[in-house]
Structure 1
């Protein structure tokens, strides 16, 4: 195979890889990032000049996938994965065989790695936005539930406040008129329980104040 044919074959492999990676990304699910990394890594491996002797590693946060073990003396090329312009991982290609560790990677392979890393970064950015939106939605739903609870609580407290105030007022008036010790003891119990109930109502009102407003 002459040089031109070889170069053309390599370009076809790279274009095929980009097409496969684009298809993987289009169908990707943010709950299956590791599976997506595996699929991309094996697609990349096939696109290199020596696919049988090239290993791909994709690393992002706590997820690392590898197609195999690289030779410790092998040169490596990297493509940085960035989320919102901040480095968040990388895609790395290394040789697995000592026989070809002195063979340089092609410039086109470096470009391919960077392009795929860029696509992966864009996808992870989209996943992050989706997660943030889901988290915000859950928070809003929680606030709505708390607000409804607060309104119910405020209604209960309001309904209890008036009769409790009447009970306390009449009990205090009766204290001034009653002289019987037993009856005064009974009134003290009424007053104590009414005061306790009033404190419970205050706590309910405090809970209402802590609930988020619409």
Structure 2
């Protein structure tokens, strides 16, 4: 018969487990194993309410320990049946509610092959154990929730510090973010992280790219998927909200993906801003150069006009030697060509309102090439142009 001393021993062990900071699934398994050992039953089930479902831990002398999840309604129906009937393979069963005030946290379900294994004194003993378990569960739940929030906030704070560094290259930043992600998950020792962006992978060494246990969130930049953030487990863990992952971890992963998208969008906007500023500076320099060229063209145009006029007058002098006539013709041709270049330069720098008109493309191309002919000739480059008729 179980006595007061053993009751206190079992209760002390349960409270000790609760104070070790273990996750709820590990805590439930330890409690089920403890009750199986101390009760001398063939099987013990610990049913714990976990939001909208039951977490069931089954411990048997021949079947070991297993964990499973039951929908809330299905769990109630199952437990209701257990309260009204006895398994064929067991002669005695005991169903003890785990209560915290009016809140039902779960049940203890014990089964024995011996008849009358649960007299009133034993039932009282297990009710005391259930009361201790209720207090321990509240402690475990509060501690677990607090630890998860601390891990989540620590992860997000670390990411914000990394992304706030202005001089960090994007690839280095993504790798550093991937390195700190596993610490935000329930099982960081077996967790690996990977960030995929535009085909480039930034992953931790223990990431499993084709692992069975994975959680992913897409990186959407301006409505277009550019990559994803992925967390993987290298080993099996008990079934939770999303495989072995918590629903809080899903929210954290999506927050990380949104933060990465915002950082990428901000970085690309800064690059585009710098590019536009550079274009603006170049346009301003070209405008200044155009103004200088226009003023210079006016200054050059006056002596060129004089040179053309004097060359024309000199060419009309009677008795001019033949060689001198040819030289004057060359001077006149060169002066006219220079004046034409000045005219085109003035046309190029002149600000005129935009309009539409029919133009001769061959003429425009030919005139444009004249700016390069002399330079190409000096460099020994042959300039060839074939225009459509």
TM-score by length of 1: 0.84
Corresponding position: 1:44 with 2:187: no
Corresponding position: 1:78 with 2:216: yes
- The structure with the largest alpha-carbon Rg is 2
Native 8 Å contact 1:82 1:89 kept in 2? yes
Corresponding position: 1:149 with 2:289: yes
Corresponding position: 1:14 with 2:155: no
RMSD (Å) for aligned C-alpha atoms? 2.4
Native 8 Å contact 1:58 1:91 kept in 2? yes
The alpha-carbon deviation at position 79 of structure 1 amounts to: 1.7
Larger proportion of helix: 1
User: What per-residue deviation string (whole Å, max 9, x for no partner) do you get for residues 130-174 of structure 1?
Assistant: 111111111111111111221221122111112212222232233
Q: Provide closer, same or farther for how the CA distance between residues 73 and 88 of structure 1 changes in structure 2, counting only shifts above 3 A.
A: closer
Native 8 Å contact 2:211 2:232 kept in 1? no
Alignment length (residue pairs): 208
CA distance in 2, matches of 1:10, 1:165: 87
Match of 2:309 in 1: 169
Relative contact order, higher structure (CA 8 A, sep 6+): 1
CA distance in 2, matches of 1:28, 1:169: 65
Give the gaps of 5 or more residues in structure 2. Answer: 1-16, 19-23, 25-140, 352-389
Task: Choose which of 341, 346, 350 in structure 2 pairs with 1:205.
Answer: 346
Larger proportion of strand: 2
Q: Provide closer, same or farther for how the CA distance between residues 95 and 23 of structure 1 changes in structure 2, counting only shifts above 3 A.
A: same
TM-score by length of 2: 0.49
Match of 2:233 in 1: 95
Identify which range, 42-51 or 77-86, moves more after superposition: 77-86
User: What per-residue deviation string (whole Å, max 9, x for no partner) do you get for residues 68-119 of structure 1?
Assistant: 230634232112222223222211111223x449752111111110011111
The alpha-carbon deviation at position 20 of structure 1 amounts to: 1.8
Native 8 Å contact 1:77 1:110 kept in 2? yes
Native 8 Å contact 1:71 1:95 kept in 2? no
CA distance in 1, matches of 2:173, 2:238: 28
Match of 1:131 in 2: 271
* SS of residue matched to 2:227: strand
